Structure 1
Amino acid sequence: MRGITMFYMALLTAGTVSAQQHFTKADTLRGSITKERAWWDVTSYDLHVQVHLEDSTFSGFNTITYKVLKPDSVMQIDLQEPMVIDSILQDKQSLTFTRDGNAWFVKIKAPQVKDKIKRITVFYNGKPHKAKNAPWDGGVVWARDEQQRPWVATAVQGFGASAWWPNKDHQSDEPENMTINVTVPAEMTDVSNGRLKKKTDNPDGTATYTWYVSNPINNYDVAVNVGHYAEIKDSYSGEGGKLDLSYWVLDYNVDKATEHFKVVKPMLKCFEYWFGKYPFYKDSYKLVESPFLGMEHQSAVAYGNKFKMGYMGRDLSGTGWGLKWDFLVIHESGHEWFGNNITSKDIADMWIHESFTNYSETLFTQCQYGLKAGEEYVAGIRHNIKNDVPIIGPYGVNTEGSGDMYYKGANMINNIRLIMNNDEAFRQMLRGMNKTFYHQTVTTQDIERYMSNAAGFDLGRVFDQYLRDTVIPTLEYRIIGQQVQYRWIDCVKDFNMPVRVKLNENGFKLIYPATTWRTASISLPDPNKFEVDKGFYIHVKRREATDNK
């Protein structure tokens, strides 16, 4: 997720998605499971990288352990220009390779026998793409801290992990575990994902930090953070037992961070209540101060909100509730469940990451300040919705859909919560989803089926309306005596989303509109007091009783 409020990027790029439907061979090589990718499955990465401050370059190697799914002799490895591969070895033999843009095709010599585990080591170097405006423009950030000391970090969601290290750069294939070895000047510290296993002081004035990730991890989450860091240690007693907490901040921000990050424990309590056990107890939970706004790097969440409330001091909901907590801490941490635990196979389905995580802000607001506050927050963020292009993007070409996956997606989830009309059932759906798809990659269809089953209602038309269309449906109604007639207009074919309305003085109840007129009785003393639950993200239009169209 570029990880944070994509509304601001959407303001800059509104209308460009539909204009960018001309895709290239490079888009297909990056975004699809090519023949040269399909025959092997990554099981582990052992990444070694040295950060060279003097010329802003990286060098190193990556040993890829993989399982052979079917015999083949050509393997696709991804590494983006201007980075280059120096050499590739398997079984101590040098392999030949060719390049097609950012894709490298390796000629394998040894027989690749089905179900066998094999290794290949890729040596590489170069000057990785410099991020101009991370996290929206991805790459490596070369910055200076307030004391003018070097500060380096990676931020590559969307742009691709292959911007700085060679891998199989597709979200559908995650390693089961990973070792990250980062060599930096001895006076600096690297913070990466997982747990620090050792620090090695080298004779050339450098130090190597070895981090181990014991859980599956998507490539864009793999992070390098190099700076003058100090560690603040804490722990949380949660559903999985003791969870180690670490806050890695610049050495002059320790006091400020110690106070500011007190929100983490109530946040974890809230999210474990709604989503289930934090997915990465083995790898711990970390916040890492970064020279860019933030990103959901698994077990090493990048944090650059400058210890402010809201989103850099702004309330994205316009309600006041968004200034009562730090947006980056809450939003990016929510991705540990949606994005990191459950990952979309294709970035066209990034709504799975962003819609649920955006809704986690509403749930946290509710946890801290009550149901009404949460309702106001999710309604407030609607003013950010563009309804420009569909939320689901084109498949197989490394392209996301609309930035509406954030605010519109969250409101779609809130609609489903209201349809279910049972918060405990809704909570169990979210928890069950994180259990059913624990550490897995999924498709939109997987999530649609699961939610429909949990809701006890076929939500297919709801998903079609909000994910695949740009029109907001309108509930049209007319009052005739003690009856209300109602139907959906401006909607996808056969749209049938239930809504809650007030037909009597006992509160809201569900009705089941279709695209043809239906009728319900009103027992309110004044039928004109008929009301539609404003929690639904829909339009409502009243027609005159005499209008028989």
Structure 2
Amino acid sequence: MDNRTFFRAAAPVTAALLALTTACTGSTVQGRPGAAGVRDPFFPKAGNGGYDVQHYDLAIDYRPDEGRMSGTAVITARATQGLSAFNLDLSGLDVEDVKVQDAAARFNRTGQELTVRPAEELEKGEVFRTVVTYSGKPRTVKDPDGSEEGWIPTEDGAVAVGEPVGSMAWFPGNHHPSDKATYDIALTVPKGYEAVSNGRLESRTDKGTGKSDKSNNADDSNDSNDSNDRTVFRWRSSEPMASYLAIAAVGKYRVSTGATASGIPVYNAVVPEEAKASAEALGRIPEIVDWGSRRFGSYPFAAAGAVVEAPDTLAYALETQTRPVYPGAPTVDLVVHEMAHQWFGNSVSPKSWKDMWLNEGFATYAEWLWSEDHGGLSAEERFQAFLKGDTQVDPAADADWAAFPPANPPSAEVISDDPVYYRGAMVLHRIRQEVGDEKFFALVRGWAEEHRHGNADTADFIAYTERLTGKDLDKQVWQNWLYGADKPKG
């Protein structure tokens, strides 16, 4: 009997056994493990497949004197396939317990992957709740370009930043910008410390005062015997956020509050030694938000503000959602750049890290527009200065902006290099030159509105631009400026 005959004979037996199994268990095997990574071209292990996170509820107790945290992450997600197992990204820290749908789940660790096997398989479309209890000393993560992110200790506390993958150093999640979610973040710290995160401050509660705070579902199980000496700060981000934009900052900051003319609350936290030097630039945040709302469309979030750390804390500023973080006192131009990211990068987030120019090109061009609108250099003057390398007009014009095409960076090490910023901005100006101001500014506002709180890539931008303007820009802009390997001539 050949193999084909054997399998034909065996098929009815196999089917009968499967039917018997189904009758006994009342179900069929449908689930499969979710992918451990979303195949990002530069960070293939980042993110996970098989589910879409809807909400993170994080409760973190941090002890600066020990550099240790204990945390509980409640992750609400929807299964996009039947799941027998799924992964969360988490670097370092000790996982003590995992529950899925209130039932104990098996789990194991391999590198940055926390693999979870629920007691019962999850059905496609099912909304499920995962609770991870963890603790330890959170790590600092080194990027491919050598910069540091993750959990960064400071002189009197710490600041957590996450671009591109540092957020997995302090909470488990689906850490890729393509999966955005809302957040509740509760930070418990010693009395006398401030704890700052994204969105709006819902409450600040000193433990042991008899006050009760039930403003969200964060788990307070991390309370300790000295809880009377601790304060809980509860922050809420009601609009979707990519996890790399989450921030946790703990320190003895000077806090100031205010509001924009349109009523958006502004919350700034500044290390005392930088307070005086930061006052001018931070004082213009309300003006910058309202200016951006006129240029780019309505401000996409319910809060604004800043965190200013000591200059040696970080090697860069970062557009953490609603509350950018700065290493030392920022200039007005830098605040304009990071606040422009609230529209471009935070509200409209990249589908992959290859699309970074859509973040940085727009934010850089926002600086040029701010200058143009406030009596400084026009965007055309900036563009010509960079084209000619004229540092007399713009000191930054000697940047190596033509090293590679902005839509095709060659590696993860260079996704924050000059071409992504400056040539990205020049791409936008070339569009403006081709279509005129009326269509260009309609494009800028429309792009931010069409993809508000979503994700987009370069192909989306090209299609939207040509649809809105009605102009074929392939030769003039896309081939030459966006994808061309050679330095454009104009």
TM-score range, shorter chain: 0.7 to 0.9
User: 1:214 is paired with a residue of what secondary structure?
Assistant: strand
Instruction: Please tell me whether the aligned partners of residues 285 and 305 of structure 2 are also in contact (alpha carbons under 8 angstroms).
Output: no
Q: Is the 8 A contact 1:28 1:396 kept in 2?
A: no
From the superposition, tell whether residues 399 and 77 of structure 1 become closer, same or farther in structure 2 (CA, over 3 Å). farther
**Structure 2 equivalent of residue 297 of structure 1:** 320
Residue of structure 2 in register with 1:264 after alignment? 285
Distance of aligned partners of 1:386 and 1:49 in 2 relative to their CA distance in 1, 3 Å threshold: same
**Do residues 111 (structure 1) and 135 (structure 2) align?**
no
Q: Which amino acid aligns with 2:76?
A: T
Counterpart in the other structure of 2:12: none
Q: Is the 8 A contact 2:141 2:166 kept in 1?
A: no
- Number of residue pairs matched by the alignment: 419
Deviation per CA, 1:338-380: give whole Å up to 9, x if none: 010100011111111111111111001011115x543333433
Q: Verify: 1:367 aligned to 2:394, yes or no.
A: no
Asked whether the equivalents of residues 95 and 108 of structure 1 are also in contact (C-alpha less than 8 Å), the reply is yes
Question: Which residue pairs with 1:444 in the alignment?
Answer: 458
Task: Give the match for residue 101 of structure 1.
Answer: 111
* CA gap 1:39/1:426 in 2 versus in 1, 3 angstroms: same
* CA separation of 1:121 and 1:232: change in aligned 2, threshold 3 A: same
How many angstroms apart in 2 are the aligned matches of 1:395 and 1:98?
A: 34
The alignment-based identity, stated in percent, is 26
**Do residues 122 (structure 1) and 126 (structure 2) align?**
no
CA displacement 1:209-241 (0-9 Å, x = unmatched): 11011000110111011111232222222xxx4
Alignment of 1:165-176 (within 5 A): 165-175=171-181
**Offset at residue 383 of structure 1 (A):** 1.9
1:339·1:352 contact (CA, 8 Å) conserved in 2? yes
1:472 maps to amino acid: K
Q: What is the distance in 2 between the residues matched to 1:127 and 1:352?
A: 35
SS of the residue corresponding to residue 140 of structure 2 reads coil
**Quick one: distance in 1 between partners of 2:246 and 2:373?**
31
TM-score under structure 2 length normalisation: 0.79
Matches within 5 A, 1:69-80: 69-80=80-91
Whether the aligned pair in 2 keeps the contact of 1:26 and 1:102 (CA below 8 Å) is: no
Contact kept, 8 Å, 1:161 with 1:220, in 2: the verdict is: yes
Partner of 2:399: 384
Structure 1 residue 110: deviation in Å? 2.1
1:218–1:27 Cα change, 3 Å:
closer
Q: Give the secondary-structure state (helix, strand or coil) at the position aligned to 1:66.
A: strand
Say which SS state the counterpart of residue 287 (structure 1) adopts. strand
C-alpha distance in 1, partners of 2:458/2:378?
30
Structure 1 unaligned spans of 5+: 1-24, 145-149, 310-325, 475-537, 539-549
Q: Structure 2: which amino acid aligns with 1:295?
A: L
Counterpart pick for 2:362 among 356, 361, 369: 356
Equivalent residue for 1:162? 168
AA aligned opposite 2:271: L
Q: CA RMSD in A?
A: 2.8
Counterpart of 1:469? 484
Which consecutive residues of structure 2, in runs of 5 or more, have no partner in the other structure? 1-35, 209-225, 386-393
- The 2-side partners of 1:139 and 1:275 are apart by 31
Correspondent of 2:350 among 320, 328, 344 = 344
Distance 2:264 2:235 in 1: 17
- Once the 2 structures are TM-superposed, how far is the Cα of residue 430 of structure 1 from its aligned partner? 0.4
Which SS does the other structure have where 1:434 is aligned? helix
Question: Aligned match of 1:276 in 297, 300, 303?
Answer: 297
* In structure 2, distance between residues paired with 1:128 and 1:276: 38
Change (3 A) 1:408 1:263: same
Counterpart of 1:231 (choices 247, 251, 255) is 255
| Shift, 1:121, TM fit | 0.7
TM-score, normalization by structure 1? 0.70
SS of the equivalent of 1:55 reads: coil
Determine if the alignment matches structure 1 residue 188 to structure 2 residue 158: no
**In structure 1, how many angstroms separate the alpha carbons of the residues matched to 2:414 and 2:488?**
26
Are 1:393 and 1:402, in contact at CA under 8 Å, matched by a contact in 2? Answer: no
Flag the 1:395–1:342 CA change in 2: closer, same or farther, 3 A: farther
Kindly indicate whether the alpha-carbon contact (under 8 Å) linking 2:427 and 2:481 is maintained by their aligned counterparts in 1. yes
